[in-house]
Structures are given as structure tokens and as C-alpha cells.
Amino acid sequence: MADYDYDLFVIGAGSGGVRASRMAAGHGAKVGICEESRVGGTCVIRGCIPKKLLVYAAHFGSDFEDSREYGWTLGRHDFSWSKLIANKDTEIDRLNGIYIQLLKTAGVALLEGRGVLEDAHTVRVGDRTVTADTILIATGGWPTLPDIPGIEHAITSNEALHLDDLPRRMVVVGGGYIAVEFAGIFNGLGVDVTELYRGEQILRGFDNDIRAALAQEMRNKGVDLWVECDIETITSKGHHLELMLKDKTFLETDAVLYATGRAPNTSGLGLEAVGVELNVKGAVVVDAYSRSSVDNIYAVGDVTDRINLTPVAIKEGAAFADTVFGGKPTEPDHAMVPSAVFSQPSVATVGYTESEARKEFGEVDIYKSTFKPLKHTLSGRDERAMMKLVVDQKTDRVIGCHMVGDDAAEIVQGIAIAIKCGATKAQFDATVGIHPSAAEEFVTMREKYVEPDRD
């Protein structure tokens, strides 16, 4: 065997890279990892965690209002954006420190700087060069911006977490989970929010009933949601921005946040030069064990554009370590992966959408319920929750679960275990509900949903 500096060298210290490096070190490998920014990756530094903290902050305005009908009398309450961002940054700094300590405790050497491949076994990190028997690419993804006139005036989700001041008006462009989450955050903090999406309905790829229910609730909460429209130009007008849409309509705003997609972060890493195959989106092409087209180079997480979720990257990193260094070949399981959208109200889902299920299984049974949560019987708020189960008619297996409503992620996480285990609708029906709770609706829906006759 050649004499290398490391058994494994990881480029990218996000969730997947950190998990893979720590586990590989635990299997006895000598491991190094490099990071050009802070340790923790998208989720910890500029994604899930800081965004969820802002979601919590955005809920307080409506919670203060709802408390009145529960007997509470509140005095004056003011919101400080700068305090929220400072406290958020303190927490991110703390988590960054924890991740650094985890690497140190595991015996993983952390090199600060951008890693670039010079050949299949050599990585240049700044002005230093290291060699490794195995290399893992775990560089994640990065927000993309369209090439339109004036795009330099727009921000992405990265900058939205560090704005100096809270704008009075904001346009959020996009219809995916990042767009609807930030629309809800800024709307909840008192910003006048308009969301623009070029498609016919937000959350493409989600169940259609979920999409429609969330769109209605967002509008009810004050988000001005426009679909089938897009921006053609952005022009600075001094203290505000002027947007010209494709239909020549004009909008005036103080900030434009683009959340129209993310791309695998593979540019400038030297991947093509050493023979690593990338697909049309720039993602590293890997096999079932996360191996690239170069035998000793692997990739996990968003950089592979499989399922771009933090827990999936962690699972892929663990499976890689077990496969390559643990003597236990393991394929990461990408079936029935639950996910959530921390919109307002929130969304959670696991398994097949109704349309996917009909294509895959043919005949399916649908159970659906829309209701006003108990909390709002006193608050008076016009907000409704929606729950849906998709059942394979032949086997009675529950193959899809979808929810719009408060605590959707907390509820569907538990349902996901049952679905992963192959639970049937009969077993759902046999389960006693926790009363009173929204979650009990998933075990009390008995009547099959029949599409109304549209004739």
C-alpha cells in the first residue's frame, strides 16, 4: 500500500462529512477533514438550525394575539431584529464549537481552508498538500441565482439570516420549502411579504392537497402569494427596488429574496480533472455505496443530489464509514424518508403522494380530514389543519402520510416509524388515540374520501 498522510481525507465539514470522519476514525482509520468556512455545514451554520430559531421568533406575534382570548392581558411588546440575530449567532457559534470538539475528541485532524483535488489521492488545502488512500466529497449545496438584469440587488437565504435591518417590505421568489419558510418567517415578524412563484402551485413534488392547504393558510396569514409569474428585471430606485414581472407588471419592495433552488457545491474542486463524473446538475454521480466513478473517491450528502436532507447526509456518511472502514458493506436507505417544511403552519410528510401512489400501486384508498384545531376554538383564529393518509388497496398498507398544521413534524416523525415498519390501516384503526390532540386524527379517520362529482 502507498504511504499516504491519511487513510481518509474528507472535503467538507458539514453533517455528512463530520459523521463519516468520526465513524471512520472510530473504526481505526487515520482521518483528516478540511473546511473553508465554519464547521457544521449548511444545516448548522446557514440552514435548518438558524432558520428554525427564526421560525420560533415569528410565532410569538400570533401567540400574543391568541393569548387574549385565554385570559391573558399583555403589556407593550416590541420586537428587536438585531437582538434576535445576535442571539441566533451566539447559538450558532456554540454549535460550531461543539462540532469542532467532536472532531478533536474522535481524533480527526481539522485543516482550515478550501480543499481542491490535484489527483485521485492528493488534496491541496490552502498552501498545504495532503495525501489520502480514500477521499470523501461532502461539500453540500449552495443557493443559485438566475441571470437577470439587476440580480446583484437580490439576496439568498444565506444573507437573509444576517440582514442588518428588518425590511418593511419583502418579495420572496420561489415556491419550494425554503421560499415558503422565509415568507412565513418575515410575515410573522411584521414584514409585508409578497411571494412569487412561476409554477401553478407552491411546493412542487408534495401532495396536491398539502400544496393547496398551505397556500390557503399562508394567504389567510397575510402572505400575498402570486403564482404563474416571475421577475424579468430588478432596478434600484435609491431606497427601494422596482421589479418588472414577465407580464410587465411592476412591484415596489425593499428587499428581494431568491429561493429558487440550490446547486451541488462542486465547482472549482478539481473533480472533473481527476475523472469524477458529474451529472447535468453538477452533482457527483455515485453508486449505491456512495462511490464515484473514481474507485477511491466517494461522496455523500447534498453534493450527490439524492435526497437533500441533513439526516439523510448523516445516514449516508455513516453507511460510507461502515462500508469502507468498518468491514460492513451498507447501502444508505432512501425509502420512506420523512421530511418537514417549517412554514406557518408547518407541513410534514412521509411516503407516497396520492398521485405517486396511483401510478405505482394502481388502486389506493384516501383518508382525509380538515378541521379547526382545539386551540383556535377560543383564539378565534381562522386556521385549519389538514391530515391525509394514502393506503394501498391491495395490502391495506399505509404508504403515505401528509399533514398541514401546528407540530406537524413532531407528529409525523412518529407516524413515519409505523409506515417504515409496514403498518396497515387496520393497525392504525386499532391504535387508541391520545385525546384531545390533533395527532389522534390519524387513528380515527374511518371514512374513505370520495372525490366529489364535478359534473
pLDDT tens for residues 157-188? 999 999 999 999 999 999 999 999 999 999 99
- 24 and 118 in a common domain: yes
Rounded-to-integer distance, Cα 164 and Cα 58, Å: 17
Domain boundary among 225, 244, 260: 260
Cis peptide before 345 (omega within 30 of 0): yes
335 assigned to some structural domain:
no
Residue-wise pLDDT tens digits, 317-346: 999 999 999 999 999 999 999 999 999 999
**Cell numbers describing residue 187:** 410575515
Q: Which residue has the cell 393547496?
A: 212
Q: How far is CA 260 from CA 87, 198, 263, 381, in A?
A: 28, 10, 10, 31
pTM, rounded to two decimals: 0.96
Tally of structural domains, the chain: 3
Neighbours of 426 (CB within 10 A): 12
329 assigned to some structural domain:
no
Q: What is the pLDDT of residue 238?
A: 87
Residues serving a catalytic function are 435
Domain boundary among 260, 287, 302: 260
- 105 and 40 in a common domain: yes
337 assigned to some structural domain:
no
449 assigned to some structural domain:
no
Q: What is the pLDDT of residue 291?
A: 98
Residue-by-residue DSSP string for 144-197: -----TTGGG-B-HHHHTT-SS--SEEEEE--SHHHHHHHHHHHHTT-EEEEEE
- Please check the confidence at residue 225 and state whether its pLDDT lies above 50: yes
Q: What is the pLDDT of residue 175?
A: 98
Q: Is 244 exposed, middle or buried (0-12, 13-18, 19+ CB in 10 A)?
A: middle
188 assigned to some structural domain:
yes
Q: pLDDT band for position 454 (50/70/90)?
A: very low
Decide: 91 and 83 in contact? Cβ < 8 Å: no
CATH of the domain at 107: 3.50.50.60
- 439 and 364 in a common domain: yes
When computed from its CA atoms, the radius of gyration of the chain, rounded to whole angstroms, is 24
Q: How far is CA 173 from CA 61, 90, 92, 154, 247, in A?
A: 24, 29, 26, 10, 16
- Please check the confidence at residue 453 and state whether its pLDDT lies above 70: no
- 245 and 279 in a common domain: no
- Please check the confidence at residue 301 and state whether its pLDDT lies above 80: yes
SS3 48: helix
Decide: 42 and 312 in contact? Cβ < 8 Å: no
Residue-wise pLDDT tens digits, 11-61: 999 999 999 999 999 999 999 999 998 999 999 999 999 999 999 999 999
Average of per-residue pLDDT across 89-112 = 97
- 234 and 380 in a common domain: no
331 assigned to some structural domain:
no
Amino acid at 13: A
CATH of the domain at 437: 3.30.390.30
223 assigned to some structural domain:
yes
Strands of the 385-392 sheet, one edge to the other: 339-341, 347-351, 398-404, 385-392, 364-371
- 267 and 136 in a common domain: yes
- The DSSP H or E segment spanning 18 is helix 15-26
- 372 and 270 in a common domain: no
Q: pLDDT band for position 308 (50/70/90)?
A: very high
Q: pLDDT band for position 455 (50/70/90)?
A: very low
**Cell numbers describing residue 282:** 453538477
- 303 and 177 in a common domain: no
- 231 and 293 in a common domain: no
Rounded-to-integer distance, Cα 148 and Cα 234, Å: 8
Among 420, 411, 421, residue whose Cα is nearest residue 443: 411
- 127 and 61 in a common domain: yes
100 assigned to some structural domain:
yes
- 407 and 352 in a common domain: yes
Rounded-to-integer distance, Cα 357 and Cα 309, Å: 22
- Please check the confidence at residue 7 and state whether its pLDDT lies above 80: yes
- 320 and 251 in a common domain: no
Decide: 144 and 263 in contact? Cβ < 8 Å: yes
Domain boundary among 324, 355, 372: 324
Among 220, 159, 152, 232, residue whose Cα is nearest residue 196: 232
**Cell numbers describing residue 20:** 463519516
**Domain assignment of residue 426, given as a range:** 345-443
